[in-house]
Structure 1
Amino acid sequence: MIRMARRRSFDVTRLPGFTAIAILAFVLLYAPIVTLVIYSFNGSSSVNLWGGFSLQWYRIAFENEAVQSAAVRSFVIAASASMIATTVATLAALGTTRRGKFPGQTIIYVMINQPLMVPEIVTAVALLIFFASIKIATGYTGLGYLILAHSAFCVPFAYLPIRARLEGMDSAMETAAADLYASPVQTFRHITLPLLMPGVLAGAMLAFVISLDDVIITEFVKSAGQDTLPTYMLGQLRRALTPEVNAISTVLLAVTIVILTAFFLMTRKRD
């Protein structure tokens, strides 16, 4: 009977056409990325005509002062926004999961995750109006607006993995620490935070990547001379498209892969 039950168990991989659909999905997902990487080594100035293998567009991109300043600006904004968003998300996750049910809990969840449900263009317009009035009142037009705008948008992305980690954590160790007269701060520092760290790292990584490639909010909030790599590339696409854009995109792809690999190794050791 056990053998018959195993034979009759549902297996999605045995459905007709599963293999073909899976292959098609992977081709649609990764064929454009592979094409982008290949043509970043194109020796021709055309993006669709192969002119032989060359690294000239990487050299041109690295020597381009506009690309250098945009890259530094992008990483500064992404790093700052991810730290702020992760801190706020951690506090929000602790406040909404490390206590019992309370009135308005669902509304708080909705408010925290609001940027995920509302079209990004709506958030961008709202931030534009909000920060424009502050710029007029204060005269300050620095990167602080972009950092705050990215932080506000990235909070729900950091919140989701942190909350998921908290909900999967057993509170027995925290209770035991309290029984041993540990203060709330000591319990959080020595018990909760180490156990929560994989979720915090996941939230920070996700917030960093989301901020790094954001275009819409950056376009609406930035002042003159505050281009990030995505907005710089968008500007280049509007002018003259060259394989330099492919080279920059490939470098961003490599940075993302390195971050993902480092995070995987780090969380695997902790788990």
Structure 2
Amino acid sequence: MPQSPSEQIRQRFRHIQDVKFASARPEPALTARAHEPDIVVETWMNSRLHIYLLAKAPKPRQLKSILKQNTSGGIGTLFLVEAALLPGDGYCGRLRDWQDDLRVMSLGAIYAYSQGESGLRLIQVNLDETTQRGEFIVWHSGDFPCDAVSVRRREYQTNIRGRWFVGDIASPQFKRRISEARARQRFHYRSQGRQPSGNEPINAAYLALEIEVGAGQAAVKEAFRKLAREYHPDVSAHDKQEAERRFNEVKSAYERIKTHRHWR
């Protein structure tokens, strides 16, 4: 009997080095009990993450309700969306409200899953703003390597306004590859006559700090201090070369945002 998507994804999480355990409900989210996670993940650092498989389009208030419930218990939230619900690779146009909310939560991307003949695939669906207000160009990063789990508290100013614990499953190495891919995409946009947003450089600074674009001064400062502590070469548990690169990236991003927003 074929395994359910939740079971296949759980198996992937079990092989992540920093995951202590990953348990799944017997049935996927098709049961429509929105506040029950499909997968519960706990790391060796005692962070807990609830993962929800969205097999149908959610309502924005449903997303916020789940975030509120989990954050009150110190639990991170991660949504994995059935890929068929999202715009296809190369799409250019507007997003639905719930898609935009998930984009903001994951700093410019949405994590998705797809079940095919070759098995289940995890996909990162990237959404880049164009110069047309409210318009996005969509590109898929292919099979996503599920090799990291982190939970952080972030502040949002959109429909899901608030400070919530959210989960991430992208490693620093994968994020770096995506950053390089975005640079290649910019060339592609120009060749197609569709320019990315002129705010892209400053938007990239917010992404480097792992916060929502346009976040307030307190949120920016908090993110900078947290990441600076994590990646300072003298104390970081990360590879020294990677820590130095990331520390400099975080410091530069913080300074760019301060200059752009005229903060002292």
- Shorter-chain TM band: under 0.3
Larger Rg: 1
Q: Which of the two has greater helix per residue?
A: 1
Q: Return the TM-score normalized by structure 1.
A: 0.22
Q: Which of the two has greater strand per residue?
A: 2
